[in-house]
Amino acid sequence: MSELKGWRELPIGAIPFKLSTEFKTGDWRTFKPVIKQDKCVKCLLCWIYCPDMSIVWDGEKVTVNYDYCKGCGICAHECPVKAIEMVKEG
């Protein structure tokens, strides 16, 4: 078995040099989550499950940071009261 390379041996470009906050990944999205505030029971499961930390809780309501939301739909899948609808972008 060959030995793994150290990070100094990786080719240029293999390591991102910017902070992840500088990559606005929201433009990867095909579907966007829309939260129906009248149905939301503020359980914050969407906040826990979102892999991109794109669900924002301000102490009163949950919203989506569309700069980083990739539209994976996990939040909509996990919402126990179906308060999140995935809507096609465009």
Least spacing, CB of residue 16 vs ligand SF4, in Å: 19
| Contact residues for ligand SF4, defined by CB under 6 A | 33, 35, 40-46, 50, 52, 54-55, 62, 64, 69-75, 79, 81, 83-84
State how far the alpha carbon of 56 is from the alpha carbons of 2, 3, 71, in Å.
44, 43, 15
10 or 37: CB nearest ligand SF4: 37
The residue (of 10 and 73) whose beta carbon lies closer to ligand SF4 is 73
Specify the residue, 5 or 42, whose C-beta has the smaller distance to ligand SF4. Answer: 42
Q: How far is the CB of 17 from ligand SF4 (least distance, A)?
A: 24
Identify the sign of the CA torsion 78, 80, 83, 87. positive
Backbone angles phi, psi at 52, to 5 degrees: -110, 10
Residue 74 CB, nearest distance to ligand SF4 (Å)?
Answer: 4
At 58, the amino acid letter reads D
Judge contact between 63 and 53, C-beta under 8 A. no
